[in-house]
Amino acid sequence: MTDKHIVLQADAVTKSYVRGKSAGSRFDAVKDANLVLEAGKLTEIIGHSGSGKTTLLNMAAGLLTPTSGKILLDGTDLYRLSDKELSKLRNEKIGVVPQGQTALSVLTVLENVLLPFSLYRKDVPAYAVKEAKELLSSVGLEKLTDSMPSELSGGELRRMSIVRAMIMKPQVLMADEPTGDLDKENTAIVLKMLRDAADQGTAVLLVTHEADAGKYADQICQMEEGKLSWKAV
């Protein structure tokens, strides 16, 4: 790909918090971070626990309003949209795999994956069901479509949540430490899913504290005490 297509851009984003009760203990969880996510590229953010990775990902995903700075998705300034417009745009264009387990326990695997559809439509279209089943099969979950999340292993659950994040064919896919609690085999499967999504044209952001994910990345950034810096791959 010669033309670079910037899908998402974080422009000097800062998130300040007040720690404890005294207003004097203000600190920046993320400070003036600049981030560019391109179509077809996998960008990785590495950094220690508490360095600000999740805070930045949540701001980039439209889930957490920055104290200052902008997030532009295809030129649209996310935090200038109304709540309703932002939710709709997030639903259509941004897939998020949050840290930890987020499956809805009362829904089957297939229903969990179709949630992004059922949120905004009365009936889930047949093509979406077909697509969901195909995606689940492609990551070895074909036999588990009607299972409940409690019957799945950690690796299977994570694969399910990545499929859910991908079901709307988002322009951006963001995963927050998706392999932190997985064994080697599942780690490799999950990283390959993210790499494949990038190869199919998605702008992928992978947040991790594991260095071994580096071989899947097109660009690597490091977060240290809220400051993001670029590293050569």
Ligand X SMILES: Nc1ncnc2c1ncn2[C@@H]1O[C@H](COP(=O)(O)OP(=O)(O)O)[C@@H](O)[C@H]1O
Interaction between residue 100 and ligand X (CB under 6 A): no
Q: From residue 145, how far is each of 95, 109, 135, 136, 182 by CA, in Å?
A: 20, 5, 11, 7, 21
CB of 149 to ligand X, least distance (A): 24
Report how far apart the first and last C-alpha atoms of the chain are (Å, whole number). 18
> If you write DSSP's letter for every residue of 127-189 in order, what string do you get?
HHHHHHHHHHHHTT-GGGTTS-GGGS-HHHHHHHHHHHHHTT--SEEEEESTTTT--HHHHHH
Q: Which is nearer to ligand X, 109 or 213 (CB)?
A: 213
- Parallel, antiparallel or unpaired: strands 172-176 and 94-97: parallel
- Residue 173 beta carbon to ligand X: minimum distance, rounded to whole angstroms: 18
Residue 208, interface with Mg ion (CB under 5 A)? no
Per-residue contact string for residues 29-68; x = within reach of ligand X by CB under 6 A:
x-----------------x-xxxxxxx-------------
Write down the least CB distance from residue 53 to Mg ion, Å.
5
- Residues in 4-33 that interact with ligand X by CB under 6 A: 17, 29
- Candidates 154, 220, 164, 219; CA nearest to 187 is 154
Piece of 50-58, 59-67, 105-113, 152-160 that binds Mg ion (CB under 5 A): 50-58
Q: Smallest distance from the beta carbon of 68 to ligand X, in angstroms?
A: 16
Question: Which CB sits closer to Mg ion, 54 or 161?
Answer: 54
d(C-alpha 85, C-alpha 118), whole Å? 17
Does 54 interact with Mg ion (rule: CB under 5 A)? yes
**Binding positions for ligand X, rule: CB under 6 A:** 17, 29, 47, 49-55
